[in-house]
Structure 1
Amino acid sequence: MKLHAICILYKGGTKVQTLKSAYDLSSFGYFQKSSAQEFMKFTSQIVVERTQPGLRQSVKEKDYICHVYVRSDSLGGVAICDHEYPPRVAFTFMNKLLDQFANEVPSGTWPSIPEDGAKFTGASHFLTEYQDPSKADAMTRLQKDLDETKVIMHGTIESMLERGEKLDDLVEKSDALSSQSKAFYKTAKKTNSCCVIQ
């Protein structure tokens, strides 16, 4: 999962202007970095321009997804990520980012801020903090923990079989199972064994 760019834009005048942006271009080659950054900035301006205030949307562009949110006050945010980055996390942090920007930078100054010239350090901070969505988002972290638990459980079953123990032997030796349960297990095994292709 990779978060490539975060842009804060203003859609108030005749053209959309970038107020502040932050980029992680580490996955691009040296000679591609400036072109990639320009393309991301250009794409951000286009998607904000074509998004109505109050709406959120995700736009696919080649190997990337642009998650865009434009507030009712015409302040917009764009997160450019790979396809694996969870959209819910992108929209959640964009909401926080735009709120923080609006609190620190007065709205009356937005139209006069030069291109990418807002005095705001939050974009770089959010880009770093949300690079790993599982660290910043409780739901993603929970899903990751559940996936790891599932892998550990599968590993435990496989390791038990590697030691040469058979489930049949464990069922037969078990004091915890009634004779009726043992009989059910044997019947189920015989019924299912007819379907095994060897």
Structure 2
Amino acid sequence: MSPGVCTATMKLLCLSVLYKGETKANLLKAAYELSSFGFFQKSSIQEFMTFTCGLIVERSAFGTRASVSEKEYMCHMHIRDDGLSAVVIADSEYPQRICFSLLDKVLDEFSRQVDDRQWPTGTPETIRFTVLEEYLKNYQNPREADALTRVQAEVDETKIILHRTMESLLDRGEKLDDLVQKSEELGQTSKAFYKTARKQNRCCKMM
């Protein structure tokens, strides 16, 4: 995900809740686990994760459950018909079934705690939903997390769409590099980080 960084397997890096509007995804809440990254990289890595989650939700259809594979990382998403969405970014070794059980649990609890009138315009600062970081922490170890999900119905993996790369979500002729440079969510430092690392072919590998 970033130059010169080694991450341990079986790890969750980001868990976010968004609202999918007609043209744009609105971030409502997010939690991150960035201890495996260097101090000076964490800010840019977090911005890229936020950017990636938003892009995935924006470019996917309502009622979609999908996984996007990018190098050694996986972005798992569940977009409900009502637009409420959740994305978890994990390493490729983390079990898909547990990720989708986590997403379902987060979406159910969020919809119970947060009025749907807040979803289109809410922000991470205004939305009161305090358990996201706890979920991210409790599900770090998939063996322990599996015990939390056994009581839930099995996820029907045949209904999960697998995309091999981020580029597979883009419209024909679109380039990820252009979307990064045009993004209002990414600061100039993160864009410069992306551009430099891209030239070295060692960029944040999710991108």
Normalised by the shorter chain, which TM-score bucket? 0.5 to 0.7
| 1:71 partnered with 2:80 | yes
For 1:101, which of 102, 107, 110 is the aligned residue?
A: 110
Moved runs in structure 1, 4+ residues, more than 2 A? 114-117, 138-141
2:68 equivalent in structure 1: 59
Question: Residue 114 of structure 1: CA displacement?
Answer: 2.5
Query: 5+ residue gaps in structure 1?
Result: 142-198
1:24-35 equivalence runs, <5 A: 24-35=33-44
Alpha-carbon distance change, 106 to 60 in structure 1, aligned in 2, over 3 angstroms: same
Q: 1:106 to 1:83 in 2, by over 3 A?
A: same
For residues 49 and 58 of structure 1, what CA distance do their matches in structure 2 show? Answer: 14
Describe the shift of the 1:32–1:67 C-alpha distance in structure 2 as closer, same or farther (beyond 3 A): same
TM-score, structure 2 normalization: 0.64
CA shift for structure 1 position 123: 1.1
Question: For residue 5 of structure 1, what is the amino acid of its counterpart?
Answer: C
Higher helix share: 1
Q: Does the CA contact (< 8 Å) of 2:23 and 2:58 recur in 1?
A: no
1:46 deviation in Å?
0.6
CA contact (8 A) 2:94 2:142 kept: yes
Larger Rg: 1
- The aligned counterpart of 2:122 is 113
Residue 18 of structure 1 contacts residue 116 of structure 1 at CA under 8 Å; is this kept in 2?
Answer: no
Greater CA drift, 20-29 or 58-67: 58-67
Equivalenced residue count is 141
Matched residues in 2 for 1:17 and 1:5: separation? 16
Q: What CA distance in whole angstroms lies between the structure 2 residues aligned with 1:85 and 1:116?
A: 30
Give the TM-score, by structure 1 length: 0.67
Query: For residues 63-85 of structure 1, what are the alpha-carbon distances to aligned partners after superposition, in whole Å with 9 as ceiling and x for unaligned?
Result: 31100110111011100000110
* Mapped pair 1:129 → 2:149: no
Is the 1:56–1:69 Cα contact (8 Å) retained in structure 2? yes
Structure 1 residues 8, 77: CA separation in 2 closer, same or farther (over 3 Å shift)?
Answer: same
- The alpha carbon displacement at 1:122 in A equals 1.9
| Aligned equivalents of 1:49, 1:42: Cα separation in 2 | 11
The aligned counterpart of 1:12 is 21
Aligned twin of 2:205: none
Q: In the alignment, does 2:123 pair up with 1:87?
A: no
Q: Which residue does the alignment assign to 2:11?
A: 2
Select the structure with the greater relative contact order (CA < 8 A; seq sep ≥ 6). 2
Shift of 1:140: 9.3
CA RMSD, aligned part only?
1.8
Q: Which residue of 1 aligns with 2:51?
A: 42
Change (3 A) 1:31 1:103: same
Instruction: For 1:115 and 1:35, locate their aligned partners in 2 and report how far apart those are by CA, in whole Å.
Output: 18
- The Cα shift of 1:12 comes to 2.1
